[in-house]
Amino acid sequence: MPSKTNWAEAIQPLLKKYKGKKHPLDYRNVYQSVIMVVLSAQDSDKHINQIAPKLFEAFPDMQTLSKATPEILFPYIGGVRNFGNKGKWLVEIAQKIKKDSKIPMTLEELTELPGIGRKSANVIMREAGVPAEGVIVDLHVVRVAPRLGIATGTDPKKIEKQIMDVLPQKYWDAGMAMSFLGREICRPQPKCESCPMNTVCDYYKQINK
């Protein structure tokens, strides 16, 4: 049954709480954000923040990275999950782009690069400050969106489409806001009492019946 909630209105407290909050990856520029987003898939932002400085010391931009081989990267990224593939993807990305100034900023072009799916592309674009073409759906959003009732299921692509259908584009940062909510409040064991969304949340209504 489709939700009766006016989500464009209901989402406002969440957008307000996390407006302009920087992604937890500690990047310094767009080049670093691309590399760190690729490395962070199925790994933790905290871990990538720890290993990134040495990597960027050795490879400060796309140009230097494009001259590397995956094997040269392994000492820097060896502790990262799936580092074999990620090393290959990073070198391929750098060889394709060649210069930091040529990093693409559309969803279509970013998702054509190896190791970058819709979620990663949405994160890169958000952090670069370009208008959203999609909604960030990470593992936190997969938990939070169905709890709120703004989406159903567990498929990130389907959840993203449902959110895009009920929210105007100017509110698509709701994805990252839900991710922050999932990290801080809507944990696997949620702290519902301190949640700015508990007045409209399906899960909260259910447990308080």
Q: State residue 123's pLDDT score.
A: 98
- Using pLDDT thresholds of 50, 70 and 90, give the confidence band for residue 1: very low
Contact 173, 132 (CB under 8 A): yes
| 119 and 46, same domain (yes or no) | yes
Residue 20 resides in a domain? no
Look over the chain and give the mean of its residue pLDDT values, rounded to a whole number. 97
| Whole-number pLDDT of residue 148 | 98
Q: How many C-beta neighbours within 10 Å does residue 112 have?
A: 12
pTM attached to this predicted model: 0.95
Residue where a domain terminates, one of 65, 100, 128: 128
Q: Which domain holds residue 46?
A: 30-128
Note whether 14 and 179 are within 8 A (CB). Answer: no
CATH number of the domain within which 175 lies: 1.10.1670.10
| Shared domain check, 99 and 151 | no
On whether residue 14 sits in a domain, the answer given is no
Which residues make Cβ contacts (< 8 Å) with residue 142, sequence separation at least 6?
Answer: 154, 156, 159
Mean pLDDT of 42-57: 97
- Whether residues 101 and 170 fall in one domain: no
- Asked if 47 and 80 count as a contact pair (C-beta separation under 8 A), the reply is yes
In which band, very low, low, confident or very high, does the pLDDT at 2 lie, cut at 50, 70 and 90?
Answer: very low
